[in-house]
Amino acid sequence: MKLMFVGALAALFFSTTFVLNRAISLDGGHWFWTAALRYAWMIGFLCAGYLISGKGRALIGVFHLFTRYWKFWCVTGSIGFGVFYAPLSFAASYAPGWMVATTWQTTILCTPLVLRAFGHRVPMRALALTGLIFCGVVLVNIEHARLTSTTEVLLAALPVLLAAFAYPLGNQMLWEARIGTHPRLPHIVDPALDDPFARVLLLSLGSVPFWLILGTITLPPPPPTDQIVTTAFVALFSGVIATSLFLYARHIATSPAELAAADCTQALEVVFSLAGEVWLLGGALPSIMGWAGLALTIIGLLAYLRAQR
């Protein structure tokens, strides 16, 4: 119950990403700055938090841990934070937040694949239930195509599918390094990894090379002041609070089944995102097809969670 509560609370704060990213997009903000500024703010917030709380020595320990395993943190941070968030920010330019949030739930389909890739067994009956989730996501994207075009659906859905695979992959790499059971990953034993804020800071620092390379490739125009301020709120709510809560939920998991359960709590992002977009941005409610897609997605996620027990 503790794991489920923490995961649900993380989903609430995570949903701000989809709503605020859509708001930035509607105001004309470039998707690169939406993504990169979030992690710049996160690094600043986390470092400031350590210093304000009198944990300067702990912060030095985090940086020392980063330098000891910098290759691992750069790879894991680039995958788990960079390849995860850049596509989500890009997709916000082509679809409402709640549609992006629903498509994002395909991360539940990717999680078993990631677990199996790392040699963990996943109940087959649970895998069968992911078909419901997939059908729900398809219905939501069909509604999107009806309102816009197939091209815009692909520009929104395909990047989210990439993000849905990158996020559990990066998180699982961190989990494996902490447990120390994978032969190709370092076994990192350090008290800093018991602190969820330290884990977020380490991954954020590791993602910096990714943002520098991506910025060089895209060459976006300078961000407006409103975008800088809004990304600060996204960084605080979704990047610091939600990510720390979610990593804490995964940290207290002791088996692949509990890891999957923590991931499944993120289904609530769909509900929170829809409510936030309608309330804050004046978005339209889904049609019957959209509601059916949402229902299938959530039912599939809950059934998948039950099958893990």
| Cβ atoms of residues 160 and 87 within 8 Å | yes
pLDDT band at 135 (very low <50, low <70, confident <90, very high): confident
- Identify the DSSP state of 285: P
pLDDT at 306: 67
pTM for the full predicted model: 0.86
| Cβ atoms of residues 253 and 261 within 8 Å | yes
Nearest to 127 by CA among 305, 304, 306, 309: 304
- Identify the DSSP state of 308: T
How is the chain split into domains, by residue range? 2-307
Angle at 163 between CA 240 and CA 98, to 5 degrees: 75
CA–CA dist 63, 192 (Å, integer) = 10
CA–CA dist 235, 39 (Å, integer) = 7
pLDDT at 301: 72
CA–CA dist 73, 7 (Å, integer) = 24
Using the predicted structure, report yes or no on whether residue 291 has a pLDDT greater than 80.
yes
Q: Count the Cβ atoms, other than its own, within 10 Å of residue 291.
A: 15
Nearest to 184 by CA among 192, 173, 193, 194: 173
pLDDT band at 31 (very low <50, low <70, confident <90, very high): very high
Q: Quick: pLDDT tens for 3-15.
A: 878 888 888 898 9
More confident residue, 86 or 144: 86
CA–CA dist 252, 237 (Å, integer) = 21
The token pair that represents 167 in the structure block? 């996020």
Q: Quick: pLDDT tens for 61-120.
A: 999 999 999 999 999 999 999 999 999 999 999 998 888 988 888 887 788 888 888 888
Cα radius of gyration (the chain) = 19
In the numeric block, the tokens 């610091």 are attached to 240
CA–CA dist 102, 265 (Å, integer) = 13
Q: Quick: pLDDT tens for 256-287.
A: 767 767 777 777 788 888 888 888 887 777 78
CA–CA dist 88, 4 (Å, integer) = 25
In the numeric block, the tokens 């890009």 are attached to 90
| Cβ atoms of residues 289 and 142 within 8 Å | yes
CA–CA dist 62, 191 (Å, integer) = 10
Q: Quick: pLDDT tens for 206-229.
A: 999 999 999 999 999 999 999 999
The token pair that represents 238 in the structure block? 């979704």
Where are the extended beta strands (E) located within 66-215?
A: none
The token pair that represents 101 in the structure block? 């949030």
Burial class (CB in 10 A: 0-12, 13-18, 19+), 234: buried
